[in-house]
Structure 1
């Protein structure tokens, strides 16, 4: 695979399986926590089915790992962290990205993982959603989002927010939420997750 190229479905599935087994959790136990069948989780782990954004966030939350782990990266250990004043450049095409259900793509925007903060560019094709079946996501932390192009609809609790270019939002991630692109053009946004 080329650096920065989105991992294929089998590679993403293998990462999910490795994270689950590293934490000593059975397929059946994780599927139960997710509220899906072991068969559905097995299909994800074998690369036969892509998880939605919501499902991937649920998986990393249950396994207590950062989203960066789905990209094959852990937050650096203290002795491996970039020294203050050190410059790290990552060129276009080298930035890790993953494609999820509905064709949604997440691309990390930091040159190296930063403990305690995750910054991603997300691209939602027309008609796409962060969830497979309209389900809402809840997890610890806070989220901040800013739409760069297109329009995103954010369902947050019982409220609905239409966000266009230049619009931003901040909310506690414990509030049930989902993101959709109901427009005719791809929508691109920057999302910051503060676990």
Structure 2
């Protein structure tokens, strides 16, 4: 069975992928790759690869790109859904950071709470850079595996069902440290991602 391709013979990109969402928004704003890359402090080649889902970016880098595109990072991980029920097994996760994937599990209509599930492959991370967003109360709960969480200058190792609460305005980062898959849940109130 052959895979889908575009008119120019290149592989078709999932229209709900992170890259397709970035490209669609950039085009809607009538911005060039060069304009967005310069403002976001990334190379044009990197941005092009990201839009074609051939590369991933840290949350900090996605924040800079999304700021140029006048959108929230959370929009990149939101599934189109007409129901409040989220099915983990059929969820469309988007890659981010290094060896990590994320999906929003609360509908965008929720105004008081925003939550995401993230999967980390061995040694996966949200990125080398710490990042911050808004000024929400945020909780990271480790569902499985072990994750090192840095908030500001403080670092903790969390095991399954351990959690940490912090302000989303504090620079933070998460990474899997045992070389095994891990799953985490982020919850923010009010939404700020």
1:35 aligns with 2:41: yes
- 1:18-57 pair list within 5 angstroms: 18-57=24-63
For the aligned residues, what is the CA RMSD? 3.0
Count of aligned residue pairs for this structure pair: 176
Structure 1: stretches of 5+ with no match in the other structure: 1-6, 77-81
TM-score by length of 1: 0.74
Distance in 2 between the 1:122 and 1:41 partners?
Answer: 23
Distance in 1 between the 2:125 and 2:146 partners?
Answer: 12
- 1:90-169 pair list within 5 angstroms: 90-110=86-106, 112-116=107-111, 117-131=113-127, 134-142=128-136, 143-169=138-164
Distance in 1 between the 2:71 and 2:62 partners?
Answer: 11
Could you list the runs of 4 or more consecutive aligned residues of structure 1 that deviate by over 6 angstroms after TM superposition? none
Name the CA shift for 1:162/1:9 in 2 (closer, same or farther; >3 Å): farther
Distance in 2 between the 1:180 and 1:53 partners?
Answer: 12
Q: Report deviation, 1:10.
A: 9.4
Distance in 1 between the 2:15 and 2:180 partners?
Answer: 25
Structure 2: stretches of 5+ with no match in the other structure: 1-12
Distance in 2 between the 1:26 and 1:118 partners?
Answer: 31
Distance in 1 between the 2:45 and 2:179 partners?
Answer: 34
TM-score by length of 2: 0.74
Tell me the equivalent position of 1:16: 22
Does structure 2 conserve the Cα–Cα contact (< 8 Å) formed by 1:12 and 1:45? yes
Name the CA shift for 1:72/1:138 in 2 (closer, same or farther; >3 Å): closer
Between stretches 40-49 and 87-96, larger displacement belongs to 87-96
Does structure 2 conserve the Cα–Cα contact (< 8 Å) formed by 1:53 and 1:101? yes
Distance in 1 between the 2:118 and 2:21 partners?
Answer: 20
Residue by residue over 1:22-70, the C-alpha shift from the partner in whole angstroms, topping out at 9 and shown as x without a partner, is: 2344323322332211221122112222223443344334434234432
| Greater per-residue strand proportion | 2
Distance in 2 between the 1:91 and 1:173 partners?
Answer: 26
Does structure 2 conserve the Cα–Cα contact (< 8 Å) formed by 1:121 and 1:189? yes
